[in-house]
Structure 1
Amino acid sequence: MPWLKLLHFAALLCWCGSLLYLPALIASSAQGAHSRLHPETDYPVRVVFTLFATPAALLAIGSGTLLFLVAGQWAGWLILKLAAVSGMALCHALCGVLVLRLERQPERALSLECSALGALAAALVGITLWLVLAKPQWGPA
Protein backbone atom coordinates (compact mmCIF):
# COMPACT_ATOMS: atom_id res chain seq x y z
CA MET A 1 0.00 0.00 0.00
CA PRO A 2 2.81 2.55 0.66
CA TRP A 3 4.11 2.00 -2.88
CA LEU A 4 0.65 2.63 -4.28
CA LYS A 5 0.40 5.86 -2.28
CA LEU A 6 3.82 6.93 -3.53
CA LEU A 7 2.84 6.20 -7.13
CA HIS A 8 -0.42 8.12 -6.67
CA PHE A 9 1.34 11.10 -5.12
CA ALA A 10 4.05 11.25 -7.81
CA ALA A 11 1.52 10.93 -10.63
CA LEU A 12 -0.65 13.62 -9.06
CA LEU A 13 2.29 16.00 -8.81
CA CYS A 14 3.06 15.53 -12.49
CA TRP A 15 -0.58 15.78 -13.57
CA CYS A 16 -1.43 18.84 -11.47
CA GLY A 17 1.76 20.55 -12.57
CA SER A 18 0.95 19.91 -16.21
CA LEU A 19 -2.64 21.13 -15.73
CA LEU A 20 -1.25 24.41 -14.44
CA TYR A 21 1.48 24.65 -17.08
CA LEU A 22 -0.36 23.61 -20.24
CA PRO A 23 -2.74 26.60 -20.51
CA ALA A 24 0.20 29.00 -20.26
CA LEU A 25 2.19 27.00 -22.81
CA ILE A 26 -0.77 26.93 -25.20
CA ALA A 27 -1.35 30.68 -24.83
CA SER A 28 2.31 31.52 -25.43
CA SER A 29 2.44 29.20 -28.43
CA ALA A 30 -0.67 30.82 -29.90
CA GLN A 31 0.96 34.25 -29.87
CA GLY A 32 2.75 33.59 -33.14
CA ALA A 33 5.60 31.37 -32.01
CA HIS A 34 4.31 28.44 -34.10
CA SER A 35 3.44 30.32 -37.25
CA ARG A 36 6.91 29.59 -38.61
CA LEU A 37 7.20 26.02 -37.31
CA HIS A 38 6.31 22.73 -38.94
CA PRO A 39 3.17 21.41 -37.21
CA GLU A 40 4.03 17.75 -37.60
CA THR A 41 7.40 17.98 -35.83
CA ASP A 42 7.63 21.18 -33.81
CA TYR A 43 4.71 21.20 -31.41
CA PRO A 44 6.09 20.92 -27.89
CA VAL A 45 2.57 21.53 -26.60
CA ARG A 46 1.34 18.26 -28.10
CA VAL A 47 4.39 16.42 -26.75
CA VAL A 48 3.80 17.74 -23.21
CA PHE A 49 0.10 16.88 -23.42
CA THR A 50 0.44 13.45 -25.03
CA LEU A 51 3.64 12.07 -23.52
CA PHE A 52 3.64 13.66 -20.08
CA ALA A 53 0.26 14.98 -18.91
CA THR A 54 -2.00 12.20 -20.18
CA PRO A 55 0.03 9.27 -18.79
CA ALA A 56 0.34 11.13 -15.47
CA ALA A 57 -3.44 11.66 -15.41
CA LEU A 58 -4.13 8.01 -16.14
CA LEU A 59 -1.69 6.87 -13.45
CA ALA A 60 -3.09 9.32 -10.89
CA ILE A 61 -6.69 8.34 -11.53
CA GLY A 62 -5.94 4.61 -11.68
CA SER A 63 -3.81 4.52 -8.55
CA GLY A 64 -6.26 6.75 -6.68
CA THR A 65 -9.10 4.42 -7.59
CA LEU A 66 -7.11 1.44 -6.34
CA LEU A 67 -6.29 3.27 -3.11
CA PHE A 68 -9.85 3.93 -2.12
CA LEU A 69 -11.04 0.50 -3.26
CA VAL A 70 -8.34 -1.25 -1.22
CA ALA A 71 -8.90 0.97 1.83
CA GLY A 72 -12.68 0.71 1.55
CA GLN A 73 -13.17 4.38 2.44
CA TRP A 74 -16.47 5.99 1.55
CA ALA A 75 -16.75 9.36 3.25
CA GLY A 76 -18.46 12.59 2.28
CA TRP A 77 -15.17 14.35 1.61
CA LEU A 78 -14.12 11.54 -0.73
CA ILE A 79 -17.20 11.99 -2.89
CA LEU A 80 -16.48 15.73 -3.12
CA LYS A 81 -12.84 14.99 -3.93
CA LEU A 82 -13.88 12.65 -6.73
CA ALA A 83 -16.10 15.43 -8.10
CA ALA A 84 -13.13 17.83 -8.05
CA VAL A 85 -10.93 15.21 -9.76
CA SER A 86 -13.65 14.80 -12.40
CA GLY A 87 -13.41 18.55 -12.96
CA MET A 88 -9.65 18.23 -13.31
CA ALA A 89 -10.17 15.50 -15.91
CA LEU A 90 -12.52 17.86 -17.77
CA CYS A 91 -9.82 20.56 -17.67
CA HIS A 92 -7.38 18.00 -19.07
CA ALA A 93 -9.75 17.23 -21.94
CA LEU A 94 -10.24 20.95 -22.60
CA CYS A 95 -6.46 21.35 -22.78
CA GLY A 96 -6.52 18.70 -25.49
CA VAL A 97 -9.19 20.65 -27.37
CA LEU A 98 -7.05 23.80 -27.15
CA VAL A 99 -4.02 21.88 -28.42
CA LEU A 100 -6.03 20.79 -31.46
CA ARG A 101 -7.28 24.34 -32.04
CA LEU A 102 -3.70 25.62 -31.80
CA GLU A 103 -2.52 23.11 -34.38
CA ARG A 104 -5.36 23.91 -36.79
CA GLN A 105 -5.14 27.68 -36.44
CA PRO A 106 -1.71 28.64 -35.02
CA GLU A 107 -2.28 32.37 -35.40
CA ARG A 108 -5.53 32.40 -33.42
CA ALA A 109 -5.39 34.10 -30.03
CA LEU A 110 -6.33 31.70 -27.25
CA SER A 111 -5.25 33.74 -24.24
CA LEU A 112 -8.75 34.28 -22.82
CA GLU A 113 -9.64 30.59 -23.01
CA CYS A 114 -6.28 29.60 -21.57
CA SER A 115 -6.58 32.09 -18.71
CA ALA A 116 -10.03 30.79 -17.79
CA LEU A 117 -8.89 27.18 -18.04
CA GLY A 118 -5.78 27.85 -15.96
CA ALA A 119 -7.82 29.57 -13.24
CA LEU A 120 -10.35 26.73 -13.18
CA ALA A 121 -7.60 24.09 -13.01
CA ALA A 122 -5.84 25.96 -10.19
CA ALA A 123 -9.09 26.22 -8.22
CA LEU A 124 -9.86 22.51 -8.68
CA VAL A 125 -6.33 21.48 -7.68
CA GLY A 126 -6.60 23.68 -4.57
CA ILE A 127 -10.02 22.28 -3.64
CA THR A 128 -8.76 18.73 -4.09
CA LEU A 129 -5.71 19.42 -1.95
CA TRP A 130 -7.83 21.00 0.77
CA LEU A 131 -10.28 18.09 0.77
CA VAL A 132 -7.47 15.54 1.10
CA LEU A 133 -5.61 17.39 3.84
CA ALA A 134 -8.61 18.60 5.87
CA LYS A 135 -10.84 15.54 5.40
CA PRO A 136 -13.88 17.41 6.65
CA GLN A 137 -16.40 15.24 8.48
CA TRP A 138 -19.56 15.62 6.41
CA GLY A 139 -21.83 12.67 6.72
CA PRO A 140 -20.79 9.23 7.95
CA ALA A 141 -17.05 8.73 8.31
Structure 2
Amino acid sequence: MPLLKLLHLAALLCWCGALLYLPALIAAGTRHSDALFYRDHAHLTRWVFTLFATPAALLAIGSGTVLFLRDGTLAGWLILKLSVVAAMVLCHALCGVLVLRIEREPQRRVAAECAALGSLATVLIGLTLWLVLAKPL
Protein backbone atom coordinates (compact mmCIF):
# COMPACT_ATOMS: atom_id res chain seq x y z
CA MET A 1 0.00 0.00 0.00
CA PRO A 2 2.90 2.45 -0.11
CA LEU A 3 2.02 3.04 -3.77
CA LEU A 4 -1.48 4.10 -2.75
CA LYS A 5 -0.02 6.59 -0.27
CA LEU A 6 2.33 7.85 -2.98
CA LEU A 7 -0.58 8.25 -5.39
CA HIS A 8 -2.54 10.13 -2.73
CA LEU A 9 0.38 12.43 -1.96
CA ALA A 10 1.09 13.15 -5.64
CA ALA A 11 -2.57 13.85 -6.41
CA LEU A 12 -2.87 16.04 -3.33
CA LEU A 13 0.20 18.06 -4.34
CA CYS A 14 -1.22 18.61 -7.82
CA TRP A 15 -4.64 19.59 -6.45
CA CYS A 16 -3.23 21.97 -3.85
CA GLY A 17 -0.97 23.54 -6.46
CA ALA A 18 -3.95 24.02 -8.76
CA LEU A 19 -6.00 25.55 -5.92
CA LEU A 20 -3.24 28.10 -5.40
CA TYR A 21 -2.67 28.72 -9.11
CA LEU A 22 -6.24 28.98 -10.39
CA PRO A 23 -7.27 32.20 -8.58
CA ALA A 24 -4.13 33.93 -9.90
CA LEU A 25 -4.80 32.61 -13.41
CA ILE A 26 -8.40 33.78 -13.29
CA ALA A 27 -7.46 37.24 -12.02
CA ALA A 28 -4.71 37.62 -14.64
CA GLY A 29 -7.18 37.03 -17.44
CA THR A 30 -9.30 40.06 -16.58
CA ARG A 31 -6.49 42.62 -16.84
CA HIS A 32 -6.30 42.92 -20.64
CA SER A 33 -8.52 44.75 -23.10
CA ASP A 34 -7.98 42.49 -26.14
CA ALA A 35 -11.08 40.38 -26.93
CA LEU A 36 -8.99 37.63 -28.52
CA PHE A 37 -6.89 37.40 -25.37
CA TYR A 38 -10.05 37.01 -23.26
CA ARG A 39 -11.29 34.12 -25.38
CA ASP A 40 -7.93 32.31 -25.39
CA HIS A 41 -7.32 32.93 -21.69
CA ALA A 42 -10.82 31.75 -20.73
CA HIS A 43 -10.20 28.59 -22.76
CA LEU A 44 -6.86 28.00 -20.99
CA THR A 45 -8.40 28.63 -17.59
CA ARG A 46 -11.23 26.19 -18.25
CA TRP A 47 -8.69 23.64 -19.52
CA VAL A 48 -6.59 23.90 -16.35
CA PHE A 49 -9.71 23.60 -14.18
CA THR A 50 -11.38 20.69 -15.98
CA LEU A 51 -8.43 18.65 -17.23
CA PHE A 52 -5.90 19.16 -14.44
CA ALA A 53 -7.37 20.44 -11.17
CA THR A 54 -10.59 18.43 -11.10
CA PRO A 55 -9.02 15.02 -11.93
CA ALA A 56 -6.29 15.69 -9.35
CA ALA A 57 -8.94 16.54 -6.75
CA LEU A 58 -10.96 13.41 -7.52
CA LEU A 59 -7.86 11.23 -7.40
CA ALA A 60 -6.70 12.78 -4.10
CA ILE A 61 -10.10 12.40 -2.47
CA GLY A 62 -10.65 8.89 -3.82
CA SER A 63 -7.24 7.57 -2.80
CA GLY A 64 -7.53 9.24 0.60
CA THR A 65 -10.89 7.60 1.13
CA VAL A 66 -9.46 4.19 0.26
CA LEU A 67 -6.56 4.80 2.66
CA PHE A 68 -8.69 5.59 5.68
CA LEU A 69 -11.17 2.81 4.89
CA ARG A 70 -8.31 0.33 4.58
CA ASP A 71 -6.77 1.40 7.89
CA GLY A 72 -10.14 1.54 9.63
CA THR A 73 -9.26 4.74 11.47
CA LEU A 74 -11.98 6.97 12.75
CA ALA A 75 -10.78 9.56 15.20
CA GLY A 76 -11.38 13.18 16.05
CA TRP A 77 -8.42 14.43 14.04
CA LEU A 78 -9.71 12.58 10.97
CA ILE A 79 -13.12 14.25 11.26
CA LEU A 80 -11.38 17.64 11.49
CA LYS A 81 -9.16 16.84 8.51
CA LEU A 82 -12.12 15.71 6.41
CA SER A 83 -13.96 18.92 7.33
CA VAL A 84 -11.02 20.98 6.12
CA VAL A 85 -10.86 18.90 2.92
CA ALA A 86 -14.58 19.58 2.42
CA ALA A 87 -13.81 23.31 2.67
CA MET A 88 -11.07 22.81 0.06
CA VAL A 89 -13.67 21.19 -2.18
CA LEU A 90 -15.82 24.31 -1.75
CA CYS A 91 -12.82 26.44 -2.78
CA HIS A 92 -12.45 24.23 -5.84
CA ALA A 93 -16.13 24.72 -6.69
CA LEU A 94 -15.80 28.49 -6.22
CA CYS A 95 -12.89 28.47 -8.68
CA GLY A 96 -15.26 26.80 -11.14
CA VAL A 97 -17.84 29.53 -10.52
CA LEU A 98 -15.21 32.19 -11.21
CA VAL A 99 -14.18 30.42 -14.42
CA LEU A 100 -17.79 30.48 -15.58
CA ARG A 101 -18.15 34.12 -14.53
CA ILE A 102 -15.17 35.30 -16.58
CA GLU A 103 -16.38 33.29 -19.57
CA ARG A 104 -19.78 34.99 -19.47
CA GLU A 105 -18.52 38.46 -18.56
CA PRO A 106 -14.89 38.76 -19.71
CA GLN A 107 -14.61 42.43 -18.73
CA ARG A 108 -15.68 41.74 -15.15
CA ARG A 109 -13.01 42.38 -12.52
CA VAL A 110 -12.69 39.51 -10.06
CA ALA A 111 -9.35 40.35 -8.46
CA ALA A 112 -10.79 40.77 -4.96
CA GLU A 113 -12.67 37.47 -5.11
CA CYS A 114 -9.57 35.70 -6.44
CA ALA A 115 -7.37 37.17 -3.71
CA ALA A 116 -9.82 36.06 -1.02
CA LEU A 117 -10.14 32.61 -2.55
CA GLY A 118 -6.38 32.19 -2.87
CA SER A 119 -5.88 33.28 0.74
CA LEU A 120 -8.56 30.90 1.97
CA ALA A 121 -7.06 28.03 -0.02
CA THR A 122 -3.63 28.78 1.46
CA VAL A 123 -5.00 28.67 5.00
CA LEU A 124 -6.93 25.45 4.35
CA ILE A 125 -3.93 23.72 2.77
CA GLY A 126 -1.75 24.73 5.72
CA LEU A 127 -4.38 23.56 8.19
CA THR A 128 -4.67 20.21 6.41
CA LEU A 129 -0.93 19.76 6.50
CA TRP A 130 -0.83 20.62 10.19
CA LEU A 131 -3.64 18.15 10.96
CA VAL A 132 -1.89 15.37 9.07
CA LEU A 133 1.40 16.01 10.83
CA ALA A 134 -0.33 16.28 14.23
CA LYS A 135 -1.96 12.88 13.76
CA PRO A 136 -1.73 10.84 16.94
CA LEU A 137 -0.04 7.46 16.61
Q: Tell whether the structures are fold-level matches, with TM greater than 0.5.
A: yes
Contact 1:32 1:106 in 2 (8 A): no
Structure 2 alignment gaps of length 5 or more:
none
Aligned to 1:95: 95
Alpha-carbon distance between aligned partners in 1 of 2:12 and 2:38, rounded to the nearest angstrom: 32
Aligned residue identity for 1:68? F
Higher helix share: 2
**TM-score of the two chains, using structure 1 as the length reference:** 0.91
Do the aligned partners of 1:19 and 1:91 also contact (CA within 8 Å) in 2? yes
Superposition map of 1:1-141 within 5 A:
1-32=1-32, 35-37=35-37, 39=39, 43-135=43-135
Cα distance, 1:75 vs structure 2: 1.2
Residue identity matched to 2:26: I
Pair 1:29–1:42, CA change in 2 (3 A): closer
User: In the aligned structure 1, how far is the partner of 2:80 from the partner of 2:91?
Assistant: 17
Identity within the alignment, % = 66
TM-score if structure 2 supplies the norm length?
Answer: 0.94
Query: How far does the alpha carbon of each residue in 1:63-99 deviate from its partner, in whole angstroms, 9 at most, with x for none?
Result: 0000000000111111000000000000000000000
Unmatched tracts of structure 1, length 5 or more: none
Q: How far has the Cα of 1:100 moved from its partner?
A: 0.3
